[in-house]
Every structure is written in structure tokens, then in C-alpha cells.
Amino acid sequence: MKLTYRGTKYEHNPLNPEVTASETRGMYRGQTWTRHYPRHIPQTQPVAELKYRGVAYAIGDPLDVELMMLSKQRSKVASVVESGSANKCGNEIAKAHLTNIRRNLEHRLQVAREQGDLNLIRLLEDEAKQIA
């Protein structure tokens, strides 16, 4: 349907929601009537963690709230386990790094001795003492 408002033309497409007949029926002046309700599409309430005056609570479908709480607990446990393994991994990396530095220093010292550079040998020996 084309309409005009203050010189602006627009097309009006009214919504025709689906209706369902209810069980409510009656008689009025000899005519039967049935109550019709619009068919609603149920929308789930989003799950959210809220806090009011320091008290934490969650809203939403109880099953979804429980699922959210369980997933948070699992993520906390996973982060604790991961941090412990990260420390172990970090220690292993640090040891490997130190080993590589020592190996590199030994190679540089060997090359300096082959070339007979006494000044470089002295500097590399000082560096070895700092690493040790």
C-alpha cells in the first residue's frame, strides 16, 4: 500500500502475525466466538553473570546457567594446569637457551685460540666466568 506523509511517499507493509485459536470460546447474542492469540516465537533469555551490591548472580535458563558455571570451573582448572606446565616448559627452554649460549661461547673460544687472538681469548674467558 503506497502512502504519503508530508510530501514523502512510502510503502506500508503491515505485519500479519500468525495467530492461534485458544480454547477460550463463548456465545454472544447467539454467535460463537473464539479468542485468537498471536503466535509468539519463544526467545531464550541470554545467560549473563551479574553483580548487585557485591552479590553475584546469574540470569537466563537454569540449564544454560549451570552449563556456563561448569565451563568456567573447567577453564579455571585448565588455566591452573596450563600455568604449571608453562613453568615446566619455561624451565626447559631456559636450560636449552643456556646450553646453546655455552656451546656458542666454546666454539668462539676455540676459533679465537686457532687464530691466536689473545685479546679475544681473554674477553671470551671473562664472558664464560660471567655465565658460570
Please give the pLDDT value at position 112: 92
Structure confidence at residue 113 as a pLDDT band (50, 70, 90)? very high
What mean pLDDT, rounded, does the chain reach?
A: 83
Give 121's Cβ-side CA count (13 Å radius): 9
Phi, psi at 109, each rounded to 5°? -65, -40
> Is a pLDDT exceeding 80 seen at residue 97?
yes
Query: Distance (Å, rounded) from C-alpha 40 to C-alpha 18?
Result: 8
**Which percentage of the chain shows pLDDT scores above 70?**
89
Question: Are residues 113 and 106 in contact, defined by beta-carbon separation less than 8 angstroms?
Answer: no
> Is a pLDDT exceeding 80 seen at residue 105?
yes
Structure confidence at residue 13 as a pLDDT band (50, 70, 90)? confident
Phi, psi at 115, each rounded to 5°? -85, -15
Q: What is the pTM of this model?
A: 0.36
Query: Distance (Å, rounded) from C-alpha 14 to C-alpha 49?
Result: 38
Model confidence pLDDT, tens digit, residues 16-48 = 777 777 777 888 899 888 887 777 666 667 778
